[in-house]
Amino acid sequence: MIRSLVARLEPAPLAVRETRRFVRDILRVWDADILAEVAELLAGELVTNAVLYAETPIDVHLAWSDGEVPRLRVKVCDEANAMPQIVEPPRPGGHGGYGLRLLERFANDWGVERRAGGGKCVWFEVGANL
């Protein structure tokens, strides 16, 4: 069975906290809370990037498949056309450049897609095998 849900957020710092709560609460309802910690972290990082760099409304999509290989797909979409890039090296003193590195480390898969009407979606998948 596949379940999905979308939330629209304003591009404000509070959106990061709202995203983490949204992910945690929905995964609890879907009995997928084993993934909540990593999904909250990664979704929060992507929303932080959207708030800082896109400054447009943000859509957070969750899709949970509890089939033979359970997995969660999260997409964070905004209306900015600039594609994210890994910062080499990360900024000193912990001031950014770690979000995409965290995706590489903790997601089973991730990527970026252009939206047909403009903008982009950064997505990641995590599975119950983490």
Q: Is 60 exposed, middle or buried (0-12, 13-18, 19+ CB in 10 A)?
A: buried
- C-alpha span between 39 and 127 (Å, rounded): 10
- C-alpha span between 130 and 123 (Å, rounded): 17
Average pLDDT, the chain: 90
Q: Do 89 and 97 form a contact (C-beta atoms < 8 A)? A: yes
Class of domain 2-127: alpha beta
Mean pLDDT of 60-80: 94
Give the pLDDT confidence of 78-92 residue by residue, as tens digits: 999 999 877 666 556
Q: 0.75 exceeded by the pTM?
A: yes
What residues are paired with 75 via a beta bridge? 61, 123
pLDDT at 91: 57
Say which residue the tokens 């903790």 belong to. 106
Domain assignments of the chain as residue spans, ordered by start: 2-127
pLDDT band at 96 (very low <50, low <70, confident <90, very high): low
